[in-house]
Amino acid sequence: MIARAETARMRRRLSTSAWLLVLALALLTFGFVASRPSSPPYRPPTGGAAAAQRAIEALTHPGAEPTALSLLPPDFTKVTGVVPGALRARDGTVRAVHVDGGCSTPWGDDNTKWDYSVPCKAHDLGYDLLRYADKIGQPLAPGVRASLDARLSFDMHNACLLNPMGSARTCQVVASLYSAGLVVNSWHQRWGPPVGDPVGPMLAGVTVIGCLLAFRLRGWLGARRARTPRRAPAPARAPASSWVTLGVASLGLLIFGESVIQLARWAGAGESWLWPLTWLTQLAPVFFFAGGRANAAGWQAVLDGGGGYRQYLAHRASWLLRPALIFVVVTLVVPLALELLGIPDSTNATIMRVALHPLWLLGVYLLTMVAAPVMLTLHRRAPVATTLTVLGLVVLAELSAGWFGARIPHYLAAFGLALLAQQVSFGRLAGRRWLVGGALAGLSGLVLLTTVGGTDPNLLGAPGAPPALAAPALPVLLLGVAQLSLLGLGAPLLNRLTTRPVLVRVVRFALRAPMSLYLGFLAAVLLLVTVVYLPVRPSDALAWLAGPRPLMALGLLAVPAVIVFWWFERHGDGSVPPHQAQPTGWLAHAATALGTGFATIGLFGFALTRFGGDTGHTLLGLPLDPIQNLIQLLLGVYLLNAVRTGLSAAMSTWVVTALACVPPLLEAADGFDADTVTLLVHGLTAIFAVAAAASTLLPARTVAENT
């Protein structure tokens, strides 16, 4: 018995250690990839930049004279502060060098006993030229930096042949390690100008992310271990409501339809053949309509259980943000997979647009969920006036976007359209005549807008449109009127379809495993795109598919899908049951507000950054940064879960919140993204969290019940 207990304990410790190791490696990989800078714009170099490129070409083809010195831009030393020189290398060539340079390693300059110093100093001068071109506003193409790295790698391996110092094999190993470090560092900086990376803030951010995940997974593992084995078969569950079925079906068809349309455009299909398909698959209004019904039902269920707005937010947001977290994996692994496969940049942009469209839909749905109780109250008091006001907001925002050419009105129009669809869902279905008239009016208005009005008839993947809709708001509004009218006419058929066993099983599985399904779907899209670039001969195609890069690329999506399903989604039915604990007191108020705010910022931040796709911008004044966006999203999830489970008054909740504010403050202290909004938001949140943690140590004199 003792031996069995020790064996079980040992296995548990080994399992825990293995998971901690996997988590640490995953977080370090995430931090390394997420901290990659955005690619600078490239154009043919002129003037000093062209001279710098010619000097680099001379550096990569050395000879008996330091030709690169005579090719340096005239203002090179003035701009960079570097005074170049010339040194003879072991192979007899004379190199132009940065005299004070050397072989840089994590522990400092190290030229090793095989003396790589001259090639390293020449390589440093090449990097100085890359920085020079960047400083004058003309960064050189990625291939220029790659040629410098390839030259240094060749020189280091060649030094092992010229003078192995009695250890040729060790010399080659060291040269290979140095070469690998060069490639990894250049890849991390997207083969752009060499820059200093904020390693400290990045490591601090990764540590905080690990802390947030550890606390969140600890609760999940505890709940999983506490489950009692089933001694009897579970009773049959009732079919999903028609609104849940409608929401799942509309979202699935929208994602599938947009993928087919974008891939067809990428394959060269004409727009005249695609626009009818966009009208059939642009189901965003239907999705938000079904979501409005689900929000109203969730709000009523919380009220019936004696809860309030905090319980509603915590429960509904927990259910919503759970699948949203998978987009962290998507935005991490999809670009890596595409890069491994060598897919062109234009195709990468198309696939990422398709991959992140659901993230925008979920972000806007989160906002409608937050607004649902207030909008439901307004509907009960003044249904017509409220609906017309929201309709006016959509039209005004979309017209303002055209007048001023700004993105913010586009986003407001998309949010307004989602609110309008939700507002319509709060009311009863109109009579048959009204529904027929609505369908005819919507289709007629859409036809007129896309013909006489000159609006593009393609309603998915339209350039410049709000990403949440992937099309302008006004034509989608008219399409939504027609769609919802037709749904009202077909409501009896929809109710009958809901009870079909096949559809019930599909909907339940989609609710249970949305993350795994989506990763599997993206893996299929990636495989389809890969097939297009295969060699013509079947034998060559099979050999290429069996190579390490394609297998690794597909594994980047397939492996997370299997892990997510096996550990998270094969249990339960996909729903998050309401917790019995009732959040009380002012700390519950604060956790709900902060959790909702940080989750919203993190969610939209991910959609805007796309891991280097749109960095350098801000959201509500906060810089867009993948690591900080993940911290904000996880912090929001953590705080809302604390409210849902009744732990908003625990000291650990607020200690973790204070720690989550450290990385952005550390970046500001180090001179990265130092702005007033960052300091105010995270600084004030940290101060409040410390005060809240301290308040939990004081004896409670009174307890305010605010449910």
DSSP output for 10-42: HHHHHHHHHHHHHHHHHHHHHHHHHTPPPPPP-
Which neighbouring-strand residues pair with 619? 622
Question: Where is average pLDDT lowest: 192-196, 256-260, 475-479?
Answer: 192-196
Q: Does residue 703 register a pLDDT over 50?
A: no
Q: Is the CB of residue 686 less than 8 Å from the CB of residue 665?
A: yes
DSSP output for 359-380: HHHHHHHHHHHHHHHHHHHHHH
Specify the amino acid at residue 125. L
CA 475 from centre of chain: 28
Q: Is the CB of residue 190 less than 8 Å from the CB of residue 35?
A: no
Would you place residue 2 in the very low, low, confident or very high pLDDT band (cuts 50, 70, 90)?
very low
Q: Is the CB of residue 386 less than 8 Å from the CB of residue 423?
A: yes
Would you place residue 116 in the very low, low, confident or very high pLDDT band (cuts 50, 70, 90)?
confident
Most confident of the following: 126-135, 227-236, 315-324, 550-559: 126-135
Specify the amino acid at residue 383. P
Q: Does residue 474 register a pLDDT over 80?
A: yes
Burial of 343 (0-12, 13-18, 19+ CB in 10 A): buried
Please tell me the distance from the alpha carbon of residue 15 to that of residue 9, in angstroms, as a whole number: 10
Please tell me the distance from the alpha carbon of residue 344 to that of residue 67, in angstroms, as a whole number: 36
Q: Is the CB of residue 353 less than 8 Å from the CB of residue 461?
A: yes
**pLDDT at 231 (0 to 100):** 45
Residue 288's nearest CA partner among 181, 416, 444 is: 416
Q: Is the CB of residue 528 less than 8 Å from the CB of residue 263?
A: yes
Token pair in block for residue 660? 């989550």
Q: Does residue 232 register a pLDDT over 50?
A: no
Please tell me the distance from the alpha carbon of residue 49 to that of residue 55, in angstroms, as a whole number: 10
Q: Is the CB of residue 428 less than 8 Å from the CB of residue 402?
A: no
Q: Which has more pLDDT, 685 or 104?
A: 685
**Phi, psi (deg, nearest 5) at residue 643:** -65, -45
Which neighbouring-strand residues pair with 237? none
**pLDDT at 706 (0 to 100):** 41
- Average pLDDT of the segment spanning 203-218: 72
Q: What is the pLDDT of residues 274-294, one digit of tens each?
A: 888 999 999 999 999 999 998
Residue 632's nearest CA partner among 604, 608, 611 is: 604
Please tell me the distance from the alpha carbon of residue 395 to that of residue 474, in angstroms, as a whole number: 7
CA angle 34, 40, 43 (to 5 degrees): 155
Residues 6+ apart with CB under 8 A from 577: none
Question: Where is average pLDDT lowest: 212-221, 353-362, 442-451, 656-665?
Answer: 212-221
User: What rounded mean pLDDT belongs to the chain?
Assistant: 79
Share of the chain above pLDDT 90, in %: 17
Q: Is the CB of residue 673 less than 8 Å from the CB of residue 625?
A: yes
Please tell me the distance from the alpha carbon of residue 639 to that of residue 27, in angstroms, as a whole number: 21
Q: Which has more pLDDT, 448 or 491?
A: 448
**pLDDT at 5 (0 to 100):** 47
Pairing of strands 94-98, 104-105: unpaired
Q: What is the pLDDT of residues 508-535, one digit of tens each?
A: 888 878 878 888 888 788 777 777 766 6
Please tell me the distance from the alpha carbon of residue 39 to that of residue 188, in angstroms, as a whole number: 11
Burial of 8 (0-12, 13-18, 19+ CB in 10 A): exposed
**Phi, psi (deg, nearest 5) at residue 497:** -65, -30
Residue 138's nearest CA partner among 48, 55, 37, 77 is: 48
Q: Is the CB of residue 262 less than 8 Å from the CB of residue 461?
A: yes
**pTM of the complete model:** 0.79
Q: What is the pLDDT of residues 630-684, one digit of tens each?
A: 888 888 888 888 888 888 888 888 988 898 888 877 776 665 545 677 788 888 9
